[in-house]
Structure 1
Amino acid sequence: MNLETESLVFRQFKRDDVVPLYEIQCDQESMQYTYVAKSLDDSRSRLIAYAEQFERLGYAPWTVLLKSNLKIIGWGGLNIDPFDPGWGTEIAYFFHPDYWGKGYATQLVQIALNIGLNELGLSEINAYAHKDNIASIRVLEKCGFLFQRFEPKLGRNHYRIKSWKLKTG
């Protein structure tokens, strides 16, 4: 099932997505605040590890495409880091720099939050952003995430949003 906004399509990762996503993941500018893929095989194994979470968790990051031409421009969504799972459910994403500043990360985070909190019933969702990644910090804050603390092990700020349920009766 694909999810759509006015300008984007979010769909489950396919193995054919590896090369276009690797082209973003190996770029130092694109990934300046996060993991840079060491090789195509490294990118493939990491992307597949994230995608395999869907069967177990019911969610995994999406491949992000421009709706107008179906060009792959990024990746992201809900996940539990398969390489360091102790940080809980989080939202992570990356986009090609040509598509920064267009509100696409905000659209992704909003859809992921809606699914996580409203459809899956998660009680909280985390996000981690490098302290110098001002654009991502703004996206998270705009979407309702609250700063928790700096996580020295990650070298990133920790943000969290919680689901609030009103108790009646």
Structure 2
Amino acid sequence: MAVLETKRLILRQYEDEDIIPLHRIFSDPETMKFYPSPFSIQQTQDWVKRNQDRYRNDGYGLWAVCLKETNEFIGGCGLVKQKINGNIEVEIGYHINKKYWSKGFATEAAKACKEYAFDRLGLNKLISIIAPRNVPSIRVAEKIGFTKEKEVFIFGKNHYIYSGVKK
């Protein structure tokens, strides 16, 4: 069942069947170069379960991103609570299979998530946590109207916090 739809994409809750195609993304060293390491199959299963728990507990989480035309799973994007300097913030996160990079899918999905958070959830501010050298993710954040707010030490290293507020 679709949570969000865009011109080219459907965002829906993760299902157990998504573990294998998601693991293809999370086990790829190039895709995961800004994480401590690529994910094992168990870490990918845990990721899906955490998001299924978030749907129940928070009403949102990271969602599967599928091409509307073919229903092919190409990644994930959504909203997740993060603790930044003692405050709970809601992050837009995104991961797209590298064979679909540079086609605007991450930006399209992230923009839909931003609109959902502001218009349907009533949130006033969103963030994205981005490794300083992750230029493609910085570009996505900027394309959806986020600006660099600060640098913080989180997840064992420095990250930029990009943010956007409801207008």
Please report the TM-score for the alignment, with normalisation by the length of structure 2.
0.89
Amino acid of the structure 1 residue aligned with 2:161: H
**Contact 1:25–1:36 (CA<8 Å) still a contact in 2?**
no
Q: Which has the higher strand share?
A: 2
**Contact 1:127–1:159 (CA<8 Å) still a contact in 2?**
yes
Pairwise mapping of residues 102-113 of structure 1 onto structure 2 (< 5 A)? 102-113=103-114
Pairwise mapping of residues 74-113 of structure 1 onto structure 2 (< 5 A)? 74-81=75-82, 87-113=88-114
**Contact 2:23–2:39 (CA<8 Å) still a contact in 1?**
no
5+ residue gaps, structure 2? none
Please report the TM-score for the alignment, with normalisation by the length of structure 1.
0.88
Corresponding residue number in structure 2 for 1:13: 14
**Contact 1:106–1:143 (CA<8 Å) still a contact in 2?**
yes
> What is the rounded CA distance, in whole Å, between the counterparts of 1:8 and 1:39 in structure 2?
27
Q: Deviations over 1:22-44 (max 9, x none)?
A: 11101111112235443211210
How much does 1:48 deviate? 1.0
Percent identity of the aligned residues? Answer: 29
> What is the rounded CA distance, in whole Å, between the counterparts of 1:46 and 1:9 in structure 2?
20
The CA RMSD over aligned residues, in Å, is: 1.9
> What is the rounded CA distance, in whole Å, between the counterparts of 2:127 and 2:137 in structure 1?
13
Corresponding residue number in structure 2 for 1:158: 161
Question: Is structure 2 residue 50 aligned with structure 1 residue 49?
Answer: yes
Amino acid of the structure 2 residue aligned with 1:157: Y
| Number of equivalent positions | 162
Q: 1:35 to 1:7 in 2, by over 3 A?
A: farther
- Bigger mean CA offset, 145-154 vs 126-135: 145-154
